[in-house]
Copies of this chain bind each other. A is one copy, B any other.
Amino acid sequence: MATELAHCTQLTPSGRLRHLLTLTDMSRDLIEELLERAESYLRPPGEPPARDPVLRGRTVANLFFEPSTRTRASFELAAKRLGADVLNLDVNMSSRKKGESVLDTIYTLQAMQVDVFVVRDASAGIPELIAASVEPHVSVLNAGEAAVSHPTQGLLDLMTMHQHKGRFDRLSVVIVGDIARSRVARSAVEGLQIMGTRDIRLVAPPGMTPDEKLYPGTTITSDLDGALPGADVVMALRIQRERMTEKAQMMTTHEYHAKYGLTAERLMRATPDAIVMHPGPMNRDVEIAGDVADGPQSVIVQQVTNGLAMRMAILAMVMEARRDR
């Protein structure tokens, strides 16, 4: 349902970006336009960050129903560097009647002339619900939705791979971790398949295997060592420690590292110039060894820089798409 709804509302009649809810219905052209725009916002370290007055006088509300320091900071700085006023709202809401309360909050902020809502929520469907409810001139950006979608993360991951590998079609990508509960994996795979990547290998430890129907055209395995040969990109996902301690049948962080941790030794199975990615924040020496995280193949810090540039590109493009509405 969420995807169907998004299909209707995410793009303007002429195919421009109105909301960003999911990558599923995006065209390759639109993603390429976003990559290009985001790269235009990169600057060498130490130079002042790029600024662009396209959101001057506009208001962006960060509505985080699930806490996040990093993603919130990234959106906040992206909006400020585009000249917007930013409203940060960390909202704790009981789940009862949540949908209704969320919409009343949205209508209230919309009445204060908020132009863009950046929404993170632990339950599925909330960004779509909001997008279906706002006025025509208002945009909704999904900043992380349950295990379903994290489209800005997917786009920054594409951007990072593009910088290092150029093309997507002959890329071999390995993603390892709790695939079943990962919105990062979902959005990365959706984006890669749109861009033409055919060789995607999902490595899921027991109990973390996803529904195959959600990942058509990929290889799903629990054998990391067997999946690595030939990989151009190796992405380790963050492991929720809580999940480990809670479930007695699951392995310890030590066991996880032994079997699924990305170590220097294991990384040697991939191509020599494979890049190492992680969405952060990392559990060092659990899903990724410290020396790999800081090593020459790691592009993890660059992902963060790209994330901010990509969020600027998205904000700028939804504001510019207003002319279509």
| A positions within 8 Å CB-CB of B | 43, 45-46, 48-49, 51, 57-59, 61, 69-70, 73-74, 76-77, 80-81, 85, 87, 89, 91, 97, 100-101, 104-105, 107-113, 135-137, 280-282, 284, 301-302, 304-305, 308, 322
4 tightest A-B CB contacts, nearest first: A46-B137, A111-B304, A49-B113, A48-B57
Contact call A51/B45, Cβ cutoff below 8 A: no
B74 touches A302 (CB 8 A): no
Partner of A304, one of B70, B73, B108, B301: B108
Residue from B69, B105, B301 within 8 A of A105 (CB atoms): B69
Please pick, from B76, B91, B97, B322, the residue contacting A69 in the complex, using a CB distance under 8 A.
B91
Closest-by-CB residue of B relative to A301 is B111
Whole-angstrom distance between the Cβ of A69 and the nearest chain B Cβ: 6
Instruction: Identify 18 residue pairs between A and B in the complex whose beta-carbon atoms are under 8 Å apart, listed by A's number.
Output: A45-B113, A45-B135, A46-B135, A48-B58, A49-B57, A51-B57, A69-B89, A70-B108, A73-B89, A74-B112, A77-B85, A77-B87, A100-B284, A104-B284, A110-B301, A111-B304, A111-B305, A112-B304
Please, how many angstroms separate the alpha-carbon atoms of A112 and B312 in the complex? 12
Q: How far is the CA of A155 from the CA of B40 in the complex (A)?
A: 42
